[in-house]
Amino acid sequence: MAWLSLRHRARTSGITLIPDALAAHQTRQLRVLRPSVGWPDRIRTDLKSSGRASVTAEKGREEIWFRWRPGRRSRTVWGSIAFDEGAGTVRLDLRASGVYTGSSGLRRGASFVTLCQVAGELGLGEGEGEGEARLS
């Protein structure tokens, strides 16, 4: 059942479902789907205004650390976004902390759920950005 839910989230967000989707640590290099002048600032603003995110620190203009709430409860996944403005990409690193104890803690796959939610909310994806040619 959990795998079907993760597959659905992956499809709707445009993220590839991989065999280690249930792992507590997820790292992906994602493209900005709507590149424009100042896109890192837009992503920072969108992250800070999200009801699921709590920004904890920023390392200059190149990285931001945050906590993300993937479900209805107050439990969070730790994350960081590192920006590569020249390439138009970000490195998203997510880590679920603690043990997986079902309803009393984060469920398995919480980091992957967070990956899908963050990508969808911030306009990130694994495909090409707007205006780029798609290879068949």
**115 neighbors 28 (Cβ within 8 angstroms):** yes
Instruction: Tell me, yes or no, whether 49 lies in a domain.
Output: yes
**Which residue, 103, 97, 48, 100, is CA-closest to 77?**
97
Q: How many Å apart are CA 116 and CA 42, to the nearest integer?
A: 18
Domain that holds residue 66: 2-125
Q: Where are the beta strands (DSSP E) in 43-128?
A: 53-59, 63-68, 77-84, 89-96, 124-125
pLDDT band at residue 46 using 50, 70 and 90 as cut-offs: very high
Q: Is 136 inside any structural domain? A: no
Tally of domains in the chain: 1
- Give the tens place of pLDDT for each residue, 72-122: 777 889 999 999 998 999 999 999 875 444 444 557 888 999 999 999 999
Instruction: Report d(CA 28, CA 1) in Å as an integer.
Output: 24
pTM strictly above 0.85? no
Which CATH number goes with the domain that contains 110?
A: 3.30.310.10
Q: Please indicate, yes or no, if residue 133 is contained in any of the structural domains.
A: no
